[in-house]
């Protein structure tokens, strides 16, 4: 199984490549990708530098152009495709049907991966994208059980990539409307849940308050760890109780089921976190490199090292990690 790690900047890219990632994924510094935050991602010039570094290390680099262009912005998205291809990246990660057709027609030799933002959750959907746009790999949304993942891999010729670690969201990827309801900017086309331009922090007598637009998302007391505010993971007053009304912050961790994912036919494990720093990328890469190697070498006696689990727990969003939908008993 290939280990695919996030690279939100050059430091994270080097950390991933130097510590065992088989591939890294990144995006441009605009709305064409689903991690559109200030200070993240690459310019055309820095992408070329990144490609050279990755290829010198004999690794691969993928570029996510995985938001949905609106008519007025179409030239920006097609230019992103052209720029990434001419920089000689190893694959494009796309979601929009029009952009998939554009890339396939103009750059027929460029490998295309279907983004998790496409929300393709069954083999029929993958067959559609494979027949029409010749996708070679698909990233599955984090809403499927292990049995459902296995059923898909057995019926599709498309290589399957799944998330192995990182923050989770209550929304199905590519289908989030909560942020656009509050901010007027859709994460599916603007590329950011809780855009930085709409986030406000203020110190009040009641504590440190985080708002998205004018919605109070959370309030932190002294010495309490404050997270970047997102609407789905906010604490709200419901009747007389204040708690996480939609979702408690947690992180996906698949170390326990790596052999099962391998038996299911999964060909790549993806780490979430382009918005995280180089230290996070380095630590997760080191742990998953060791775990995947152990799984591949001795799958029958594989057991996650307690130190691996402890290390990932320290990096998790919120107070716990979970297998998410993978362990879901119902179908």
Which of 225, 244, 263 lies at the terminal end of a domain, its last residue? 244
Rounded to whole angstroms, how far apart are CA atoms 1 and 3?
A: 7
Mean pLDDT (whole number) for 197-201: 92
* Shared domain check, 216 and 67: no
pLDDT tens for 168-178 read 877 777 777 88
Q: Are 232 and 248 in contact (CB under 8 A)?
A: no
Question: How distant, in Å, are the alpha carbons of 15, 99, 198, 215 from that of 281?
Answer: 6, 29, 27, 32
The CATH number that applies at residue 273 is 3.20.20.70
Number of Cα atoms under 13 Å in the Cβ half of residue 78: 13
Residues in Cβ contact with 242 at an 8 Å cutoff, skipping those fewer than 6 apart: 235, 236
How many domains would you assign to the chain? 2
Give the per-residue pLDDT at 331.
60
Judge whether 177 lies within some domain. no
* Shared domain check, 56 and 160: yes
* Shared domain check, 194 and 147: no
Structural domain for 214, as ranges: 189-244
Mean pLDDT (whole number) for 109-131: 97
Residues in Cβ contact with 203 at an 8 Å cutoff, skipping those fewer than 6 apart: 209
Q: In 202-267, where does DSSP find H-type helix?
A: 258-264
What is the value of pTM for the model shown?
0.92
Residues in Cβ contact with 73 at an 8 Å cutoff, skipping those fewer than 6 apart: 31, 189
Q: How far apart are the first and last CA of the chain?
A: 26
* Per-residue pLDDT at 319 exceeds 70: no
Rounded to whole angstroms, how far apart are CA atoms 90 and 110?
A: 7
Judge whether 175 lies within some domain. no
* Shared domain check, 193 and 268: no
* Shared domain check, 255 and 238: no
pLDDT tens for 241-269 read 999 888 788 889 999 999 999 999 999 99
Judge whether 262 lies within some domain. yes
């Amino acid at each position: 199984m290939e280990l695919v790690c996030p690279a939100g900047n050059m430091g994270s890219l080097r950390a991933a490549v130097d510590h065992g990632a088989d591939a890294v994924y990144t995006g441009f510094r605009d709305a064409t990708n689903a991690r559109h935050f200030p200070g993240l991602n690459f310019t055309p010039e820095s992408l070329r530098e990144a490609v050279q570094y990755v290829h010198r290390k004999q690794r691969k680099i993928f570029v996510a152009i995985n938001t949905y262009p609106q008519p007025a912005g179409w030239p920006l998205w097609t230019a992103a495709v052209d720029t990434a291809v001419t920089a000689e990246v190893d694959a494009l990660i796309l979601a929009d049907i029009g952009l998939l057709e554009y890339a396939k027609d103009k750059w027929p030799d460029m490998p295309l991966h279907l983004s998790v933002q496409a929300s393709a959750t069954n083999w029929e959907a993958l067959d559609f994208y494979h027949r029409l746009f010749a996708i070679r790999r698909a990233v599955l949304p984090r809403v499927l059980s292990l049995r459902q993942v296995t059923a898909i891999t057995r019926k599709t010729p498309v290589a399957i990539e799944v998330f192995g670690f990182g923050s989770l969201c209550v929304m199905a990827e590519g289908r989030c409307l909560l942020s656009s309801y509050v901010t007027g900017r859709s994460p599916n086309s603007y590329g950011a849940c809780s855009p930085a331009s709409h986030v406000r922090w203020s110190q009040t007598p009641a504590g440190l308050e985080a708002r998205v637009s004018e919605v109070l998302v959370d309030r932190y007391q002294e010495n309490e760890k404050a997270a970047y505010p997102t609407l789905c993971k906010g604490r709200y007053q419901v009747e007389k109780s204040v708690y996480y009304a939609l979702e408690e912050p947690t992180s996906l961790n698949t170390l326990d089921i790596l052999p099962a994912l391998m038996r299911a036919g999964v060909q790549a494990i993806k780490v979430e976190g382009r918005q995280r720093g180089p230290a996070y990328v380095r630590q997760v890469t080191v742990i998953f490199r060791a775990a995947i190697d152990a799984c591949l070498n001795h799958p029958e006696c594989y057991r996650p090292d307690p130190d691996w689990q402890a290390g990932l727990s320290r990096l998790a969003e919120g107070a716990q990690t979970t297998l998410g939908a993978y362990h879901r008993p119902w179908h």
